[in-house]
Structure formats: structure tokens, C-alpha cells
Amino acid sequence: MPHNSKIRVLVIDDSALVRQMMSQILSDDPDIEVVGVAHDPYMARDKIKQLEPDVLTLDVEMPRMDGITFLRNIMRLHPIPTIMVSSLTTKGADVTLQALETGAIDYIAKPALDVARGLQDFSDEILSKVKIAASVSKETLKRKAESMHATQKLSADAILAKNTRAKLFKTTDQVIAIGASTGGTEAIREVLSSLPHNAPGIVISQHIPQSFSAPFAKRMNASSAMTVCEASDGQQILRGHVYIAPGNAHLLVERNGARYVCRLNHGPAVNRHCPSVDVMFRSVAQNVGTNAIAVILTGMGDDGAEGMKELHDIGVHTIVQDEKTSIVWGMPGSAVKLDAVSSILPLDKIVGKIASLTR
């Protein structure tokens, strides 16, 4: 998108009321222009060719072609950053998760009752998500789509060899390592917003597009008493600071004398993800040892489970979000199945547990 130009949005929804409300909310922002609306994917396909929008808002459930099928076609043929609009029903949530795995950047919840008022109440969130989506490059979307269809699923060995003799030294410094995927951006916000300004240094690997990680870190910094940033290579891990993996690099923790530092690795995707939680956890096991606390929040798939097992086996206290409060219990559930978990907790109890384990 050219510098200083407005974000061009195409609104796709079979509800005339939703099209009207979304258009009104978006058009009220001086940085956004609604270039068109469409009531089904076939009309949307023609308007995409004609109008060349920067961002799509896409209804999950539509006539003639469902939103997931249309999204797959978009990502394969003409990738455009897309925000899904979904109902809060169980079926709607399941389809939305599929959309996020297919390549959607984020989603907007469509209330079941009083849709107009509900959307208006969340106008700030809608505008924020559209602006973040606009910052995601089409090249990033293409790479994500390609990685999703990769037949080979690599393990953490592709980045860091397993070392059974972990460094079990004790120092005064602790490191908290957090991994998450689907639903993780909000779960991470809840955890960080509740931690004190002087909590131990935190490293986070969230499955996220490359252009999304820096704005995400900025948003977390605004809602946390700690200092939150996108991690850079060689950056020292300090108490009161949070380091979020860039969306195109694995985040590892290394020991440098008496200090812990961030290392970025641009190797292949692990468990089809870059950054990978397994890679980060393995580096923490080898370089932080029992000075670590490991957490897996909501997420689809199994990334992080093997790495958490390695940490658990050397005596690290490991925590996963429980099934009830997770949007999807894939990653936490996989760790539980491996007997890699010390504590299974609802999201609002995780910070209290971390506090009881930190000095």
C-alpha cells in the first residue's frame, strides 16, 4: 500500500445490515476507505479484480460459497489480508479457527443479538484489526500458504540439536517462556496486563504473520506495566521486559556469561511454524534450565508440546491453559497428553501461579 494512502477495504457479507454497519464504522476513520461491498463470494471475486482492495472483511457463513472455500481460493490465487467476521456460536467459532489456519489475519465477532449495536460497541477493535491487516504483505501471505501445504513437518532438530545434558545451574535470573497460537494474541494480552513491572524477563513465540508481530508487540506494550518489544538478535533479556518473536524468525534464548540473550534464527519452519514454540522451549531447556517457567496458551496443533516435555523432564515447572478457557486446546492438550505439564489452569489463574514461582 502506498505511503500516506488510505486503506482500501472491501466488505463481504450476506447481511445488508452488517454491510451497512461495517461500511459506516470503517468509513468514519480518516485512514480507511470502503471501496465496495459484496453480498456473496462471486460478486466479491469480480469486485476484487475491479477495485484491488488492500484488506477484505469476509463473512464466514454465506450463500453459494462458504467463506472458508473462498478464503482458500484467495490465498492460493490472489492473497489479500483478510479479517473474518464470525458469529459467536460453537459452529461459527470452529469455522473461524479453520479460517485463521487457512490464512486469515484475525477475526471480528458478530453478536447473535442486536448486531448493529454490537458491532458499534467494538468499532475501535474493528478499526485496529483492519489497520494491522493492512500492514501484512502479500508475500508473507504467500509464504504462509506455502508452508501450510508443505508435506514435510520438521521438528526442532532442524534448528537446534537436542542436548540431553541441559545446563541445570541456578542463578538469580529467571526467564518465563510463553508459546501460543490461535486465540493467543488476546490470551497473551490478558497475561501481560496482569503482571507487575518488575516480573522476570519473558520470551514469547506466538504464531503470527511477519508484518503483524511488531504492531502486536506495540499493542502489548501499551497494555502492560512491563516493557514489551519485538525481539532483536543479541538483545539482553532483562527483568521487567518482554520479547516477542518476529513473525519470520525462531526466537532462541542463549547464555552469554552471566546474561541471557535473544537469538533469532531464520531457518525452516518447525511444526510448520516460524516462529516455533518447540524451538524456543528447547533453547530454554538447554540454556536456562531450572531457572525457567514455561507456559503454553491456547493454540491449534501440537507445537510446543515436545519442547515442554524436555523442560518438564529436567524439573522446570510447566503450565498450560485449561480447555474451558482456551479458544482451541490443541497445543495445551498435546502437552498434557505427553505428561509434560505441572499445572493446568484457567487463563485468569496463570498469572497468580507465575507469581508464586518467581522470586
Residues marked as catalytic: 181, 207, 303
Instruction: Go through 251-274 and write b for each residue having 16 or more CB atoms within 10 A of its CB, e for each that does not.
Output: bbbebeeeebbbbbbeeebbbbbb
**Cβ distance 336 to 323 under 8 Å?**
no
Helix and strand counts by DSSP (H, E) for the chain: 13, 14
Q: Write the DSSP symbol of residue 249.
A: S
Radius of gyration of the chain (CA): 21
Nearest to 136 by CA among 206, 33, 215: 215
The greatest distance separating any two alpha carbons of the chain, rounded to the nearest whole angstrom, comes to 62
Question: Rounded distance, CA 166 to CA 329, Å?
Answer: 29
What is the grid cell recorded at 33? 476507505
Specify which residues 87 forms β-bridges with.
110
Residues 6+ away with beta carbon under 8 Å from 24:
none
Three cell numbers written together for 233: 538478535
CA–CA distance from 65 to each of 69, 83, 114, 149 (Å)?
7, 17, 26, 22
* Residues 321 and 351: beta-carbon distance below 8 Å: no
Distance CA 296, CA 325 (A): 13
Rounded to the nearest 10°, the torsion over CA 11, 15, 20, 23 is -20
C-alpha cell at 185: 494474541
Q: Is 275 helix (H, G, I), strand (E, B) or coil?
A: coil
